[in-house]
Amino acid sequence: MKSYENLKAKSVSIEKVRDYWKGKNIPQIWYSDIEPGTVPYYNNVRKQRFEFYYPYLKDSAEFQYHKDEKVLEVGVGMGTDIIEYARYGAKVYGIDLGADQIEITKDMFQKLNLSYEDLKVASAEKLPYENNYFDFVYSFGVIHHTPDINSAVNEIHRVLKPGGRAVIMIYARGWKHYIKRCFIHGILKMKIFKYNFDWQKVYNEVSEVNGGSPLTQVLTRRQVKKLFKNFYIESIEKKRLGEFFEYKPYNTVKAPNFILNLFSLFGLEGLFGENFLIKVQKSNSKTKGKIIDVLWKHY
């Protein structure tokens, strides 16, 4: 299988990406209006993260299953997720392109009285760790922003121990992508003309909370498979229905629960969700776990 490649993405500079994710664009800092840097603030942000915006993470991120393992988070943001692995006894390591993100994450660890092995500024495209070092790698909403997404995936493969696993979220082409980004912004608001039919530029402009991202790649399932072709793929699931009518600081309106429940009743999240939650393993056996093998061996 050929690898995934996005030449337009490769031409974006990593400095531009780093500079974008500063100040008001630091993810999640706006989840709470309690005084920043205080214990109630951090706890409130965590509550918003796991109860309101991304409840699916409580199960899908596997926070509780990595006690005593070496866990790396690529792109920690303000640290809400890596701290959950630490809370359940993992030895945690984290990197982010932004110095502010690393500082806030360290502060949250200190205020919440938890410990980490290593937190530092680095790029997903060049992880500062040796080969075969981690049991588990987690990365949420990060590698679709980096110019060389293939290098980021290869780096995750390199630092994982044989048999080690990774859980990674990247943006999927769900209904929010087609309705909001392509139809409303691209066609009705005519941004596709502004950008001379360059859809990548439309996605960049409208994908993030405050808009104007230098790079946001939104992949198809086939592209995800190509991207992770060196791994054994456990699962690729679509999550999150994009259930927010308005998604900007302090002004979020979520769809009523009965509508969300109806969606999940009909299994629509798996069809139209806006996130791909990808679970992979560094394994030599590409056929591992295939139903045909199970039938062959056991029946």
Ligand X SMILES: C[S@@+](CC[C@H](N)C(=O)[O-])C[C@H]1O[C@@H](n2cnc3c(N)ncnc32)[C@H](O)[C@@H]1O
**Site for ligand X, rule CB under 6 A:** 17, 21, 27-28, 75, 77, 95-98, 101, 123-125, 140-142, 145-146
User: Which residue of this chain has its Cβ atom nearest to ligand X in the complex?
Assistant: 77
Asked if residues 80 and 51 have their Cβ atoms less than 8 Å apart, the reply is: no
Question: Containing H/E element for 297?
Answer: helix 291-298
Min dist. Cβ of residue 202 to ligand X (A):
18
Min dist. Cβ of residue 28 to ligand X (A):
5
Question: Containing H/E element for 120?
Answer: strand 118-121
**Nearest residue (CB) to ligand X, 138 versus 228:** 138
Asked if residues 201 and 190 have their Cβ atoms less than 8 Å apart, the reply is: no
CA torsion 84→86→87→89, rounded to 10°? 130
**Nearest residue (CB) to ligand X, 124 versus 202:** 124
Asked if residues 191 and 202 have their Cβ atoms less than 8 Å apart, the reply is: yes
**Nearest residue (CB) to ligand X, 17 versus 83:** 17
Min dist. Cβ of residue 43 to ligand X (A):
16
Query: What's the CA gap between 142 and 17, in Å, rounded?
Result: 11
Query: What's the CA gap between 281 and 4, in Å, rounded?
Result: 18
Min dist. Cβ of residue 104 to ligand X (A):
10
**Nearest residue (CB) to ligand X, 148 versus 243:** 148
Query: What's the CA gap between 81 and 114, in Å, rounded?
Result: 13
**Nearest residue (CB) to ligand X, 28 versus 32:** 28
Q: Report residue 80 as tokens.
A: 């809400």
**Nearest residue (CB) to ligand X, 21 versus 272:** 21
Min dist. Cβ of residue 142 to ligand X (A):
4
Min dist. Cβ of residue 75 to ligand X (A):
3
Helix residue ranges per DSSP H, 38-196: 39-47, 57-60, 82-87, 99-111, 149-159, 175-176, 191-194
Residue 8: which of 173, 277, 197 has the closest Cα? 197
**Nearest residue (CB) to ligand X, 6 versus 283:** 6
Min dist. Cβ of residue 16 to ligand X (A):
10
